[in-house]
Amino acid sequence: MIAEQYYEDFEVGQRFTAGSLTIDKDHAVAFANAYDPQYFHIDEQAAASGIWGTLVVSGWHTAATTMRLKLDTPLGKAAGGLVGLGIDSMKWPRPVYPGDALSIVITIIEKRQSKSRPSHGIVKYKVETLNQDGALVMEMVTAVWVPYKNA
| Three-state SS at 58 | coil
User: Minimum CB separation from a copy of itself for residue 51, in Å?
Assistant: 6
Q: Which of 14, 67, 97, 107 binds a copy of itself (CB under 8 A)?
A: 67
> Would you count residue 2 as binding a copy of itself (CB under 8 A)?
no
Q: Residue 144: which H helix or E strand, with range? A: strand 136-147
User: Minimum CB separation from a copy of itself for residue 73, in Å?
Assistant: 14
Distances from the Cα of 46 to the Cα of 37, 53, 57, 143, angstroms: 12, 9, 14, 39
User: Minimum CB separation from a copy of itself for residue 150, in Å?
Assistant: 21
Q: Which of 24, 44, 88, 110 binds a copy of itself (CB under 8 A)?
A: 88
| Footprint of a copy of itself on 91-130 (CB under 8 A) | 91-92
String marking each residue 37-66 x if it binds a copy of itself according to CB under 8 A: xxxx---------xx------xxxx-xxx-
Q: Residue 100: which H helix or E strand, with range? A: none
Q: Which of 2, 12, 24, 34 binds a copy of itself (CB under 8 A)?
A: 34
Q: Which of 8, 24, 35, 113 binds a copy of itself (CB under 8 A)?
A: 35
Structural contact between residues 80 and 146, judged by C-beta atoms closer than 8 angstroms:
yes
Structural contact between residues 132 and 82, judged by C-beta atoms closer than 8 angstroms:
no
Phi/psi for 92 (5° steps) reads -125, 85
Give the residues lining the site for a copy of itself (CB under 8 A). Answer: 31, 34-40, 50-51, 58-61, 63-65, 67-68, 71, 80-92
